[in-house]
Amino acid sequence: MKVAIFGTGYVGLVTGTCLANVGNHVLCVDVDARKVERLNAGEVPIFEPGLDEMVAYNRGEGRLRFTCDTAEALAHGGLIFIAVGTPPEEDGSADLSHVLSVARTIGRQLERPAVVVNKSTVPVGTAVQVRATIQAELDARGADIDFDVASNPEFLKEGAAIEDFNRPDRIIVGAEREDTIATLRALYAPFNRFRDRLLVFDTRSAELAKYAANALLATKISFMNEVAGIAERLGADVEAVRHGIGSDPRIGWQFIYAGAGYGGSCFPKDVRALAAMGREGERTPQLLGAVEEVNNRQKRLLFEKIRAHYGGDLAGRRFALWGLAFKPGTDDMREAPSRVLMEALWEAGATVRAYDPAAMDMTRSLYGERSDLQLAAQANEVFEGADALVIQTEWHIFRSPDFELIRERLKAPVIFDGRNLYDPAWLARQGFTYYGIGRGTRTP
């Protein structure tokens, strides 16, 4: 098929590349000329394992191209994806200005029948808005062109996006017209061979399913962090509790790890947007507000533990920090817990020496050069002169470190573990003071 994709951000670029990789001819369009120039030069502007190689291969095969020319994109084919950003407004609702701008462009320049697919995460009712916007532009120029608008939300995890696209748990299509459903079924056939994963809903239900999925996963995280606080006060170990409940198949093992809170581009934004949609009705959502409140509190928890350990005096202290991205496998630092921690430490007069396998350049772009932040070239270079080690992201390289080296290089053997990577009792026997999440404090 010939596919046009508006937007070369995370979703648009992964979607376009994976569709090209199974034989489709994909033309991605973006208003950012510099980004398009970089992509055409083979430079991928986001970090996602395996994406660089896949983009290069499909560009070389002539199946994946990038342009700023919207008319060229619309002339390319009759399947048009909208994959632009929907950033949050001040009240938490999603900003649809980019989505509707694309819809207006489609209406002004469309010259052939088309299926327009909303891939962006959008509020319920957006498909109706997009359809009305396109139709208004067609009417304004007296054009009678058949088109349909479908919803096809993405369920990609950063750090595993290619695997998620190629082997999806489900493919949700929101559409009413049989020809539109048939077109999208054919497009996704290469990813739907083992068993039928394609679910067909109305557009409103498809749009809501995306928000509901992310909000439920965020709820599980905040629930476990709430349980971790209770465990700590009662002298229990939240890791034992996790095993106790995760073995129940009704609950399962995923997203029940206590930690320093969630971040990223999806969970925080989508929880707020779903709550904003709920406030439009007669009932104010109660649970979603609590999920966000618990998460905001959790992001400050490590700082509070650090401040309490040092009696409130952090001025002049240095902290070694492992992990800057909001999760492993990405360089994304949007709403990352590490940012909350670092900014609190700086405000208290402390300095940070940090390392992350992927997010160093992103950290530089966010904070620039500053005297209270040093970025180490290697993981083991963060310890010298540091008062303690703090873990914020559970990268694999942090899971089995050289504890003897850590103890030798830190001023004092103290670890604040925001991801519960280590065994508290074992570390205490090795001479460490250990703070976990929901696991109390262990001392030698």
345 — pLDDT class (breaks 50, 70, 90): very high
Cβ atoms of 3 and 26 within 8 Å: the answer is yes
pLDDT single digits (tens) 403-439: 999 999 999 999 999 999 999 999 999 999 999 999 9
**Rounded to whole angstroms, how far apart are CA atoms 225 and 256?**
9
Q: What is the C-alpha separation between 122 and 275, in angstroms, rounded?
A: 13
Residue type, position 232, single letter: E
pTM of the predicted structure, to 2 decimals: 0.93
Per the prediction, the chain carries an average pLDDT of 96
Three-state SS for 146-207 is CEEEEECCCCCCCCCHHHHHHCCCCEEEECCCHHHHHHHHHHCHHHCCCCCCEEEECHHHHH
Residue 91 has what pLDDT?
85
Q: What pLDDT is stored for residue 326 in this prediction?
A: 97
Determine the distance from the C-alpha atom of residue 90 to the mean position of all C-alpha atoms in its chain, rounded to a whole number.
Answer: 20
pLDDT at 92: 85
> For tokens 């995370």, what's the residue?
10
Q: What does the pLDDT read at residue 203?
A: 97
Q: What are the residue numbers of the active site?
A: 266
Q: In whole angstroms, how far apart are CA 286 and each of 62, 140, 180, 269? A: 51, 44, 37, 17
CB atoms within 10 A of CB 400: 9
By mean pLDDT, which of 278-282, 338-342, 357-361, 398-402 is the weakest?
278-282
User: Strand, helix or coil at 118?
Assistant: strand
Tens digit of each residue's pLDDT (9 = 90 or more) over 91-112: 888 999 999 999 999 999 999 9
Q: 40-44, 86-90, 211-215: which has the minimum mean pLDDT?
A: 86-90
SS3 (DSSP) at 125: coil
pLDDT of residue 195: 86
Q: What is the pLDDT of residue 283?
A: 78
Report the alpha-carbon distance of residue 116 to residue 99 in Å, rounded: 12
Closest to 322 (Cα-Cα) out of 396, 240, 237: 396
